Structure 1
Amino acid sequence: MPHTPFHRIDKNHFTVSRIAGAIHQHLATYVISGLLIGTLTGCGGGGSSSSTSNSSASESSTDTTAAAEVSTTTDTTADESSNNETTTDVELSALDVELKALIDTFSWNPDPLAERSLPDIDSPLAQLGKALFFSKSLGGDFDVACASCHHPLLGGDDDLSLPVGVGAFDPSLLGHGREHNDGLPNVPRNSPTTFNAGLWDTALFWDGRVESEGQEDNANGSVSGIRTPDTEFNVVDTNAGDNLVAAQARFPVTSSEEMKSEFFEAGSDNTTIRDHLAARLGDYGVGSGELARNEWLVAFQEAYGTAEDASTLITFDNIAHAIGEYQRSQVFVDSPWLNYVNGETNAMTDEQKEGAILFFTSVDEGGGWVFRLS
């Protein structure tokens, strides 16, 4: 049976799917809690998958934004509601006693957002970042965007075992059915979710190559500097940006497999690649005239609150910062697990509790706990 496209898009644009407001409860499966996030973020990493919800979105003829509201509703029965009520006065079962002992061992913060500063999805910078995130104009050959491998309606990833970046048969097809023109995936690591990227304080990418120098709690790498592949080993990158997520956003566009392609700026260093893409969006210098229709300057001026010209304002530093703010706004911590940690004993089923116990039991004792997530 042929696959139905998840989203179809024109050459330079992704239709923006807004995730502000209500969202299906099944998205909570991508999050255990604010301090237990099952994936590292950024292209070239790994992550979770969800079932593709085949739907279509209207095409846009503008290279900046095109909003398509996603209506999400959740039906909750009286029985379901009663199961989520706090039951602190109920005698704990053997499962609860065992699981709560494990929870006490890890000393989790019951409110993972309490000491963090994260952007709102409706903030001007997050909205600009969303437009950039869905735009193919950041792909070297105009055939891929950040959202190609990290779509919010696919749980922040692409629903594939291995991603297909550049060179897809149908660049406008996301999820199942997206295939590379040589028949094999061209990115060697599973796409991670972008959800809760703003809750990481140590490093991003599966190999941790974007790493916080001081790894301060609740800082998302914003305090003591960040090390990246652009600098020598153990040397802070002064161009990394304000946080780990902004630093991560600088690298997918430099990968020949993920976004750059083999031919765009072939042989150039990362700075040259990024500068060319910024000039493309700003319609200046080497990128002048590369977009048939270009409204990015107005979008940047509105988001950054300035009347500066394109060559001053549309830099890759500002591009990465805006994309990072959009990703950092994708916060999903309201889950049955978090409710359970906060004392709602009936927030999870017995089967879920058994799974949690197995997950947090060390490998030596027959469980799945290999390393401590941060």
Structure 2
Amino acid sequence: MRWTAILLGCVVAASAGADLPEPVGEDAYRPVDMAQARLGQKLFYDPILSGNRNISCATCHHPRFGTGDGLPLGLGEGGIGLGPERRVDAENPPEQRIPRHSPALFNLGAYEFTRMFHDGRIEVDDTKPGGLRTPMGADMTQGFANLLSAQTMFPVLSQDEMAGHYSENDVSRAVRMGRITGPDGAWAILSRRVAQTPGYAPLIAAAFPKANEVGFTDLSDAIAAFVAFEWRSDESPFDAYLRGAGDLPQRAMEGMALFYGEAGCATCHAGPFQTDHGFHATGVPQFGPGKAARFESHMRDTGRMRVTGRVEDAYAFRTPSLRNVADTAPYGHTGSHADLGAFIADHADPAAALARFDPGTVRLPDLPGAQDWRHAETEAEQAALLAAVSVTPVRLSQDDITALVAFLETLSDPVALGGRLGVPDTVPSGLPVDR
């Protein structure tokens, strides 16, 4: 009887389409300047934008790993290697892991993406200088073409991600002394590096023909143009189905009926990109360094609450888009689950999942001295994480989970996963390209 009802639901959803999103159209995206995108491609893969010239944007957002890094919590400065094989540089070890899982980059050029990062700490806000709200000063929101461009300022200024640690290089020293803007600031240092690299001159001239000199916001605009073009994702089997140009396998149809029906997935994973862009406390296991200032000793990450200061936002994180989700493991803001089906099962009943969570299933690169599981081993911290959960449990059978995974696999877009411009063979700086 149960599967009869599900199959009937599929027929209703497919014929009426009442609960399904509209097909994605061209009007969903900002226009892209292709000269800027070509410059942005080189910059994205060039380590020249890191303090020590050893990390590029692609190190943590690589197409081989679904525009992530394939790790639960990554290693930025002080790491060697790419993807799950990345390890600690014994000569220059990291001070800590990156506290959150590296998010995917699909469809960030769409107009509806008005918040960035797991906690939404930068977002469009027309009442603020530059039309953006960020944790940075007002002078650091000026000149960016859009929110996607503005988000590039954060990794390059983070000592654990790209800037490097104090005294290691001119960029990290400028950041440590609070010099971001201005002629001696970190942005100017990075901009001069690029401008003084001969191979960039023709690309810059084509991308910004009216500029007397290139600034950091120009470089970030170019990277944003590349990301928007390269990883636009709306050519999946599900997209073809919505456009009436293809069918889905029966198992995927069953999963679609659950997703947009009794499983309630679309309550949060709504819209054309399967996200409501909201924040929800879903009880994802917390481990790693957490989000804390250097003077704080805790290892918790309260997510959206760190932005708003509201207790009701504790442990709430932004709903991720599910485009290409089958190719972006591991899952959750800590990358706690390597298997999509296992994550769905735990996501359906977070309280029970937290009680049975096995840290042994998490593959973290070895980092001597790291206290990765202190939060999980502290009863009060676990109680606070559990108390914040706002998800109503849903009963899912193993067949249900298998069907949901089959549907989510139809969100994979081979064009976006492969990239449009691709990984360049070389970059103008001559530095190694992560391949």
- TM-score range (shorter-chain normalised) is 0.5 to 0.7
Verify the 8 A CA contact 1:102 1:360 in the aligned structure 2. Answer: no
SS of the aligned residue for 1:193 comes to coil
Go from structure 1 to structure 2 and tell me whether the alpha carbon gap of 1:148 and 1:103 turns closer, same or farther (over 3 Å shift): farther
In structure 2, which of residues 118, 124, 128 is the aligned counterpart of residue 206 of structure 1?
118
TM-score, normalised on structure 2?
A: 0.51
Separation in structure 2 between the aligned mates of residue 275 and residue 163 of structure 1, nearest angstrom = 27
Bigger shift: residues 265-274 or 199-208: 265-274
In structure 1, which of residues 325, 340, 356 is the aligned counterpart of residue 225 of structure 2?
325
Match of 2:133 in 1: 227
1:1-374 to structure 2, matched below 5 A, reads 94-100=8-14, 103-105=17-19, 108-119=21-32, 123-168=34-79, 170=80, 173-181=81-89, 182=93, 186-199=97-110, 200-213=112-125, 225-231=131-137, 238-239=141-142, 241-263=144-166, 264-265=172-173, 267-269=176-178, 270-271=180-181, 272-283=185-196, 294-306=198-210, 312-330=212-230, 331-344=232-245, 347-361=247-261, 366-369=263-266, 371=268, 372=270, 373-374=275-276
Unaligned runs of 5+ in 1: 1-91, 216-223, 284-292
Report the AA paired with residue 227 of structure 1: R
Report the AA paired with residue 135 of structure 1: D
Verify the 8 A CA contact 2:124 2:147 in the aligned structure 1. Answer: yes
Verify the 8 A CA contact 2:13 2:257 in the aligned structure 1. Answer: yes
Go from structure 1 to structure 2 and tell me whether the alpha carbon gap of 1:183 and 1:96 turns closer, same or farther (over 3 Å shift): same
Separation in structure 2 between the aligned mates of residue 141 and residue 102 of structure 1, nearest angstrom = 56
Verify the 8 A CA contact 1:225 1:237 in the aligned structure 2. Answer: no
Separation in structure 2 between the aligned mates of residue 230 and residue 110 of structure 1, nearest angstrom = 37
Go from structure 1 to structure 2 and tell me whether the alpha carbon gap of 1:366 and 1:359 turns closer, same or farther (over 3 Å shift): closer
Cα-to-partner distance string for 1:12-61 (whole Å, 9 max, x where unaligned): xxxxxxxxxxxxxxxxxxxxxxxxxxxxxxxxxxxxxxxxxxxxxxxxxx
Match of 2:403 in 1: none
Report the AA paired with residue 82 of structure 2: L
Go from structure 1 to structure 2 and tell me whether the alpha carbon gap of 1:337 and 1:317 turns closer, same or farther (over 3 Å shift): same
Report the AA paired with residue 203 of structure 1: R
Cα-to-partner distance string for 1:260-295 (whole Å, 9 max, x where unaligned): 111222513233222221122234xxxxxxxxx643
Note the C-alpha offset of 1:250.
1.8
Report the AA paired with residue 332 of structure 1: S
Go from structure 1 to structure 2 and tell me whether the alpha carbon gap of 1:348 and 1:95 turns closer, same or farther (over 3 Å shift): farther
SS of the aligned residue for 1:332 comes to coil
Cα-to-partner distance string for 1:227-258 (whole Å, 9 max, x where unaligned): 222247xxx96415111111112221011111
Separation in structure 2 between the aligned mates of residue 112 and residue 100 of structure 1, nearest angstrom = 20
Note the C-alpha offset of 1:136.
0.4
Match of 1:18 in 2: none
Note the C-alpha offset of 1:326.
0.5
SS of the aligned residue for 2:41 comes to helix
Verify the 8 A CA contact 2:76 2:94 in the aligned structure 1. Answer: no
More helix by share: 2
SS of the aligned residue for 2:26 comes to coil
Note the C-alpha offset of 1:148.
0.5
Verify the 8 A CA contact 2:159 2:165 in the aligned structure 1. Answer: yes
SS of the aligned residue for 1:211 comes to strand
Go from structure 1 to structure 2 and tell me whether the alpha carbon gap of 1:343 and 1:132 turns closer, same or farther (over 3 Å shift): same
Bigger shift: residues 240-249 or 137-146: 240-249
Go from structure 1 to structure 2 and tell me whether the alpha carbon gap of 1:246 and 1:103 turns closer, same or farther (over 3 Å shift): farther
Go from structure 1 to structure 2 and tell me whether the alpha carbon gap of 1:135 and 1:369 turns closer, same or farther (over 3 Å shift): same
Note the C-alpha offset of 1:162.
1.7
SS of the aligned residue for 2:123 comes to strand
SS of the aligned residue for 2:186 comes to helix
Separation in structure 2 between the aligned mates of residue 203 and residue 96 of structure 1, nearest angstrom = 33
SS of the aligned residue for 1:104 comes to coil
Report the AA paired with residue 305 of structure 1: P
Query: Number of residues paired by the alignment?
Result: 251
Verify the 8 A CA contact 1:282 1:314 in the aligned structure 2. Answer: yes
RMSD (Å), alpha carbons? 3.2
Cα-to-partner distance string for 1:93-128 (whole Å, 9 max, x where unaligned): 52423544895236x3323323533326xx211000
SS of the aligned residue for 1:354 comes to helix
Verify the 8 A CA contact 2:95 2:160 in the aligned structure 1. Answer: no
Note the C-alpha offset of 1:134.
0.6
TM-score, normalised on structure 1?
A: 0.59
Question: Sequence identity, in percent?
Answer: 28
